Structure 1
Amino acid sequence: MALKATIFKVDLQVADMDRNYYADHALTIARHPSETDERMMVRVLAFALHAHEALAFSKGLSADDEPDLWQKDLTGAIELWIEVGQPDEKRMLKACGRAAQVVVYSYSATSHIWWNQLAGKVERARNLRVVNLPAEATMALAKLAQRTMQVQCTIQDGQIWMSCGEHTVQLDPALLKE
């Protein structure tokens, strides 16, 4: 018998001073049985960083041909494709061909090794941005995970603060490719 996804409810308040975006989002997240709390919370963070009324979670790990999050226009064209983790170069280049903009958020302690192997292979992709999140901070984000959460995300001058209850995590992302 296959394991079913675990459903998480997130009330997300975004205050993005860098984009002048302030909104509340009620998110329902299906966490795949093989997904960790850390990866799920990085998906929530990615949503907050790109928050928009058209941004949506896809089938994620359940579908090979879909990103973790995406934003489509009214015609169905993919405006934004967001991957979480360490995708291979074929997946990233394929995404770059399908979407106007592709963003990858890596968060592992081994991200530098992954990136050193791929940097030259994806250099020609002009619509690709790769961001590394500090592993210590994303592990702290995992500790915020609850089945029902009220999360506040504040973004200012490239720094990010994620809060849930009395706990706050500060993240300083490093841009690997613009």
Structure 2
Amino acid sequence: MAIKPSIFKINIQIADMNRHYYNDHLMTIAQHPSETEERMMVRVLAFALNASESLSFADSISDNNNADLWERDYNGDIALWISVGLPDEKLIRKASIKAKQVVIYSYGGRTADIWWSKLNIAEYANVKVFNLAEQDTQDLAAMFSRGMGINFTIQENDVLITSDTTTLNIALQQLK
């Protein structure tokens, strides 16, 4: 019998000065049994950085061939494809063809640096890549708790994240 994902409710407040987006989101997030808290919290961060009324978590969290989050336009086409982690070049190519805009949030320290050095995606004009420092994603994972509330304040490439007990400042490094 397959192990079922864990389901969490998260209340996030977003103040994005870059896009003038200010909103609260009560989200239900599924965590696959093989997914770490670090990866799940990076997905939450990716949501906050790109939040809109139509952005949603992808249907299958265990499918490595699809986006982690996406936004569809009124025609059903993919307007925004978001991947977290270290997707392979084949998936990035697929995403760049299917979506108008692709955003990747890599993390993992030295492993992410090696992934980036071997990646050849310069030809994909609609792809942006941001790297998150290893210590930042570990600190973000440490903020996790059931029923948590998190505030995200975003200005340029800096993200101030606060919870009831923790404050964290993350600087996004744009690679592409």
**Matching of residue 62 in structure 1 with residue 65 in structure 2:** no
Give the counterpart letter for 1:66 in structure 2: N
Give the counterpart letter for 1:152 in structure 2: N
**Matching of residue 111 in structure 1 with residue 100 in structure 2:** no
Give me the whole-angstrom Cα distance separating, in 2, the residues matched to 1:87 and 1:72. 21
Q: CA deviation at 1:62?
A: 2.4
Q: CA deviation at 1:63?
A: 2.6
Please provide the CA RMSD for this pair: 1.0
Task: Name the structure 2 match of 1:27.
Answer: 27
Give me the whole-angstrom Cα distance separating, in 2, the residues matched to 1:147 and 1:67. 25
Q: Do 2:96 and 2:102's aligned partners in 1 also have CA atoms closer than 8 Å?
A: yes
Q: Deviations for 1:102-121, whole angstroms, at most 9, x for unmatched residues?
A: 00000111211110000xx2
Q: CA deviation at 1:2?
A: 1.1
Task: Name the structure 1 match of 2:82.
Answer: 82
Give me the whole-angstrom Cα distance separating, in 2, the residues matched to 1:127 and 1:64. 20
* Structure 1 gap segments, 5+ residues each: none
SS of 2:148 mapped into structure 1 = strand
Q: CA deviation at 1:156?
A: 1.4
Give me the whole-angstrom Cα distance separating, in 2, the residues matched to 1:147 and 1:4. 17
Q: Do 2:161 and 2:169's aligned partners in 1 also have CA atoms closer than 8 Å?
A: yes
Q: Do 2:106 and 2:112's aligned partners in 1 also have CA atoms closer than 8 Å?
A: yes
CA distance 1:86–1:60, change in 2 (3 Å): farther
Task: Name the structure 2 match of 1:174.
Answer: 173
Q: CA deviation at 1:72?
A: 0.1
SS of 2:150 mapped into structure 1 = strand
Task: Name the structure 2 match of 1:2.
Answer: 2
Q: Deviations for 1:85-132, whole angstroms, at most 9, x for unmatched residues?
A: 0000000011000000000000111211110000xx211001000000
Q: Do 2:14 and 2:22's aligned partners in 1 also have CA atoms closer than 8 Å?
A: yes
Percent sequence identity over matched residues? 48
Give me the whole-angstrom Cα distance separating, in 2, the residues matched to 1:39 and 1:60. 15
Q: Do 1:18 and 1:156's aligned partners in 2 also have CA atoms closer than 8 Å?
A: yes
Task: Name the structure 2 match of 1:45.
Answer: 45
Larger displacement relative to structure 2 (60-69 or 17-26): 60-69
Q: Do 1:7 and 1:147's aligned partners in 2 also have CA atoms closer than 8 Å?
A: no
TM-score when normalising by structure 1: 0.95
SS of 2:33 mapped into structure 1 = coil
SS of 2:175 mapped into structure 1 = strand
Give me the whole-angstrom Cα distance separating, in 1, the residues matched to 2:60 and 2:92. 15
Q: Deviations for 1:121-173, whole angstroms, at most 9, x for unmatched residues?
A: 21100100000011101100001111211110001132001111120111001
SS of 1:24 mapped into structure 2 = strand
Q: Do 1:60 and 1:69's aligned partners in 2 also have CA atoms closer than 8 Å?
A: no
Q: CA deviation at 1:60?
A: 4.2
Task: Name the structure 1 match of 2:18.
Answer: 18
SS of 1:148 mapped into structure 2 = coil
